[in-house]
Structure 1
Amino acid sequence: FNLVCGDQWKQPLSSLIFFLGGLCGCFVCGQLSDRVGRKPVLFSSLLLLGVFGGGLALAPSWPVFMALFFMLGLEQGTIYVVIFVLGSEVLTGKTRVVFSGLALPVFFAFGSMLLPCTAYVLTSWRHLTWAIAASNNVKSGS
């Protein structure tokens, strides 16, 4: 979207919008998952994460990109909180501690380490976005 020179201020705003979406997801998902259940919220959020991620690759303009990026942040915040709470409710003892304190951060770090390698192979940000969205749909079984 040519975010250089005069439009360079949009780059940090993009991150802010994404993390505001994550914040909203954290606030909304707790109430929603208490009302309709954790698993339906988790699986629908995984599906929507893939849909919004795929839509992000097709964004024709920066405002559309920002709206989809906000929704992506909302779904990621929702997924993390729901998985954390679901794991804390289902697991007991040492397993709960390992899951909450080690497993979630390790898998997040592993995915973060794979991202630069994937970006090296897929040089277009749109192709990279498609690959990330496809991996989200594979995780959700959609």
Structure 2
Amino acid sequence: MEDQVSKLIRQRDRVLALAAVSFLFWQGAQLAENIVEEGGWDLGPYELVVQLLLVAGALGWAGASFLFLLYANRVRRSDTQSVIQDELFCHNQRLAIRCGFVALIGATSVLLAADLFIGFSATIALRALLIIGITAPLVTFLILGRDKLEDDA
């Protein structure tokens, strides 16, 4: 059973990593488009790269959502949820949410200060905050969970 739990934890971490990277690509590409559009610039040869990142990120996010549903079904069938969501999991989850909150407050402060020197739309600010608010807790949770996996190996 311990091997099955470790396998499910690794699978969860892979899905979360895919979700974090995909969301970063998807929303980051849209943020780049917003910045370029607002600045009146032209992406030129990089427009294809931005579009590919946007499509790959959106498809990756949708794929990660689907894979997470499959993962949840596997956990339910194996009846290992109480083992997977142990005290360390809950502790790491709380720390990740706290870190995401601090990152979000820090980014908000930086954007408010930046607004004093350069003008930008609320769309750019909100998209940047959205990226930080989603990816910071996911990445933090993955980093905290990695320490446990290295200890088990």
**TM range, smaller chain:** 0.3 to 0.5
Q: Computing the radius of gyration over CA atoms, which structure comes out larger, 1 or 2?
A: 2
TM-score, normalised to structure 2's length?
Answer: 0.42
Q: Structure 1 length normalisation: TM-score?
A: 0.44
